[in-house]
């Protein structure tokens, strides 16, 4: 009896040294050893295999256990004090991991009933193991994507694309000196330096537009025509990062620098085109160079194929969405420019703004049009007619290019969405303090607002005000809206499918994606953040401690997986000539994809439940 008591005391002391048991009350901790059993596993023993329910929560008292997913990829290594088996306990279903002792290992196994009781009585205990489980899910999702997509040339380091030392000119050089150096070296750009520091870049386009076209003397200082403080990448950056920068900024040369900021060389669009599937770079350039609306429309029709090529490689859904948005922006911006040139000077300063997924830089293949106008001053009848014509012609061109009109009429063609800065402020005040259902809907749409063309300051004034004026009443309604977007997941973790109609046996994956977007918007507004993208909003909310950083990371993982599956579904539809939609058939997914999709839905549901416990008074 004395020996047994000593052993129980040793188990209690062991638990007390490791999280989350170290935070439990002493009386609770003292009862746990009698609900544990000891187990010994030799090196190489599979302690818990995929498909097993397990005997409880496995705690490593000594030794090491590797946790691997269905692909055999390592997702965790549990050493002394570590645990495994929590996925089966938390989800009440067989585990999807194989857990193998990689050295002789002594285990404590806490019985399932005790684990459930601790989770119910001590929320921090449950949160600790839920976070561990979700971290493993995150790594498993990453492994799923990697196994599905393989490798890509766009994962090449940009440092490997630099084939020569940079051609440079001193900050004190003249335009003629720089042009001569470029001609002698046979290059299309030159870096302007001061000692070892990069100060600017001059391209052949700069020489044409800023020197020849402007009649500038070749003896003028090169610093007058250079692009100062250019965008740079380090040698360890990936070619895909270079592609994103070039497409989104409409540039063709990127300096590559070392960790100290010293220039190592240049990467150009030509370098990227030599790599497979760098078509978006040229496509954006072709769109920007078209001089007619018909030409822009023609180029825009190539966008789905270019995105489909990226999806066939190891490119994340978030990055594909950024490319899709950048290409969409190139089309929209060029259309606005061409229409304005045809109409003549605008009667007032304006900002053409994009809304929704385009504003968040999260466009997919089924986006419609959502846009508005912010006017710098009130206009009379003739001025109003000018902006009405601009809106109609731009909207028609975008419709021809593949972006359907918004069925809800949230477009600049609607006079309701062509307002001055002051009128927009009054509109946000009304939405914030009188949030009827339409006001809540519109507030959610217009909080995702980003400048596209015209006077950027106008859009920034409106967006900044929309964040500062969000009332607790409006936040309560937006929170309730976020909770209404329930993932299609049944009580026993079954996928809930459409039973009738054209989309029978499918699920609408846009609903849980929209839930994450709306959760992020609510949390960012609570934090007072002006961030637009879902990732930036969740990061801001986590930094402000509005939500737990682990929850933010889990939601981003869930969003990535759901968006990844949606984009592949839409790319397949586009390839077959069908209009892309959001209705994914689970029968078309692998068993592993279905399991991970359920995990993603569970993360969303858990985040919604957490929000529901923190609703403002009157919204419980």
Q: Is beta strand 98-101 parallel, antiparallel or unpaired with respect to 46-48? A: antiparallel
Q: What is the pLDDT at residue 616?
A: 64
How far is 286 from 331, CA to CA, in rounded Å? Answer: 10
Cα angle 124, 126, 132 (rounded to 5 degrees) comes to: 105
pLDDT recorded at residue 255: 93
Instruction: Specify the pTM.
Output: 0.66
**CA–CA dist 617, 89 (Å, integer):** 34
Which element (helix H / strand E) includes 386?
A: helix 381-400
Centre a 10 Å sphere on the Cβ of residue 366 and count the other Cβ atoms it contains. Answer: 19
Query: What top-level class would CATH report for the domain 315-469?
Result: alpha beta
Could you tell me where in the chain the CATH 3.30.460.10 domains are found? 315-469
In angstroms and rounded to an integer, the radius of gyration of the C-alpha atoms of the chain is: 29
Residue pair 112/56 in contact by the 8 Å Cβ criterion: yes
CA–CA distance, 443 with 427 (Å, rounded to integer): 9
What is the CATH class of 158-273? Answer: alpha beta
- Non-local CB neighbours of 442 within 8 Å, separated by 6+ positions: 410, 431
Instruction: Give yes or no for a contact between 411 and 354, defined as CB atoms under 8 angstroms apart.
Output: no
Whether the ω angle into residue 80 lies within 30 degrees of 0, i.e. cis, is: no
- Residue range(s) of every CATH 3.10.580.10 domain in the chain: 158-273
Is 157 in contact with 136 (CB distance < 8 Å)? Answer: no
Distance CA 209, CA 386 (A): 30
- Nearest alpha carbon to residue 540 among 520, 558, 559: 520
Classify 2-149 by CATH class. Answer: mainly beta
Let me know the angle formed at the C-alpha of 550 by 565 and 73, rounded to the nearest 5 degrees. 55
Report the sign of the C-alpha dihedral through residues 399, 405, 410, 416, in that order. Answer: positive
Residues of the chain with CATH 2.60.120.10: 2-149
The whole-angstrom separation of Cα 540 and Cα 529 is 7
pLDDT, residue 29, reads 93
How are strands ordered across the β-sheet holding 36-41? 36-41, 105-110, 57-62, 83-84
Least Cα distance to 522 among 603, 460, 467 occurs for 467
- Report the run of H or E that residue 374 belongs to, with start and end: strand 371-375
In sequence order, the 6+-apart residues with CB closer than 8 A to the CB of 586 are 495, 497, 505, 506, 507, 594, 597
List, run by run, the mean pLDDT of 10-residue segments along the chain (620 residues): 66 92 92 94 93 92 88 80 87 82 94 91 80 62 47 67 88 92 88 93 87 85 92 85 76 89 87 59 76 91 83 78 89 94 95 95 89 95 96 96 93 97 96 88 93 94 94 91 89 77 89 95 94 95 92 92 91 85 90 86 91 70
Going by their DSSP bridges, the two strands 263-268 and 253-257 should be labelled as antiparallel
What pLDDT does 140 receive? 56
Could you tell me where in the chain the CATH 1.20.120 domains are found? 477-612
**What local confidence, expressed as pLDDT, does residue 591 receive?**
81
**Tens of pLDDT along 454-476?**
999 999 999 999 999 999 899 99
Q: What is the CATH code of the structural domain delimited by 477-612?
A: 1.20.120
3-state secondary structure of 200: strand
Note the pLDDT of residue 552: 92
Q: Classify residue 428 as exposed, middle or buried by CB count within 10 Å of its CB (0-12, 13-18, 19+).
A: buried
């Amino acid at each position: 009896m004395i020996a047994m008591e000593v052993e129980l005391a040793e188990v209690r002391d062991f638990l007390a040294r490791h999280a989350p048991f170290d935070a439990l009350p002493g009386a609770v901790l003292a009862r746990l050893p009698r609900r544990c059993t000891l187990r010994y596993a030799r090196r190489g023993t599979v302690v818990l295999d995929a498909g097993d329910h397990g005997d409880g929560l496995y705690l490593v008292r000594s030794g090491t256990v590797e946790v691997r997913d269905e692909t055999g990829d390592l997702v965790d290594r549990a050493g002394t004090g570590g645990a495994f088996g929590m996925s089966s306990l938390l989800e009440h279903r067989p585990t999807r991991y194989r857990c193998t002792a990689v050295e002789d290992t002594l285990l404590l196994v806490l019985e399932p009933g005790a684990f459930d009781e601790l989770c119910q009585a001590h929320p921090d205990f449950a949160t600790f193991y839920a976070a561990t489980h979700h971290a493993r899910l995150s790594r498993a999702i990453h492994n799923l994507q990697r196994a599905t997509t393989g490798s890509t040339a766009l994962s090449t380091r940009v440092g490997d694309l630099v084939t020569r030392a940079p051609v440079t000119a001193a900050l004190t050089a003249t335009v003629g000196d720089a042009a001569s150096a470029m001609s002698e070296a046979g290059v299309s750009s030159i870096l302007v330096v001061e000692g070892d520091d990069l100060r600017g870049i001059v391209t052949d386009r700069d020489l044409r537009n800023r020197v020849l076209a402007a009649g500038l003397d070749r003896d003028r200082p090169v610093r007058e025509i250079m692009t100062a403080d250019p965008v740079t990448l380090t040698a360890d950056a990936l070619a895909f990062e270079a592609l994103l920068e070039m497409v989104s900024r409409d540039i063709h040369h990127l300096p590559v620098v070392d960790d100290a900021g010293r220039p190592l060389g240049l990467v150009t669009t030509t370098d990227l085109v030599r790599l497979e599937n760098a078509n978006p770079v040229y496509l954006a350039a072709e769109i920007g160079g078209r001089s007619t609306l018909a030409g822009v429309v023609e180029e825009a029709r190539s966008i789905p194929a270019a995105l489909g090529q990226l999806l066939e490689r190891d490119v994340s859904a978030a990055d594909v969405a950024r490319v899709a948005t950048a290409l969409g922006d190139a089309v929209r911006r060029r259309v606005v420019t061409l229409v304005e040139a045809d109409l003549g000077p605008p009667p007032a300063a304006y900002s053409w703004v994009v809304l929704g997924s385009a504003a968040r830089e999260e466009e997919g293949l089924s986006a419609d049009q959502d846009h508005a106008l912010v006017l710098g001053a009130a206009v009379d009848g003739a001025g109003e007619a000018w902006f009405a014509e601009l809106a109609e012609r731009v909207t028609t061109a975008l419709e021809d290019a593949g972006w359907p009109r918004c069925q809800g009429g949230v477009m600049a063609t609607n006079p309701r969405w062509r307002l001055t800065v002051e009128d927009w402020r009054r509109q946000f005040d009304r939405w914030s303090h009188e949030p009827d259902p339409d006001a809540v809907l519109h507030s959610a749409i217009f909080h995702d607002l980003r400048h596209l063309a015209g006077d950027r300051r106008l859009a920034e004034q409106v967006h900044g005000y929309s964040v500062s004026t969000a009332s607790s009443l409006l936040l309560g309604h937006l929170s309730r809206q976020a909770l209404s977007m329930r993932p299609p997941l049944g009580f026993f973790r079954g996928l809930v499918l459409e039973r009738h109609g054209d989309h029978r046996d499918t699920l609408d994956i846009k609903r849980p994606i929209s839930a994450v977007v709306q959760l992020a918007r609510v949390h960012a507004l609570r934090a007072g953040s002006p961030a637009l993208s879902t990732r930036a909003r969740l990061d801001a909310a986590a930094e402000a401690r509005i939500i737990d950083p682990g929850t933010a990371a889990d939601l981003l993982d869930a969003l990535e997986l759901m968006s990844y599956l949606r984009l592949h579904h839409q790319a397949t539809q586009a390839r077959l000539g069908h209009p892309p939609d959001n209705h994914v058939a689970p029968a078309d997914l692998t068993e592993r994809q279905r399991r991970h999709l359920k995990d993603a839905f569970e993360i969303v549901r858990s985040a919604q439940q957490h929000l529901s416990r923190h609703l403002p008074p009157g919204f419980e």
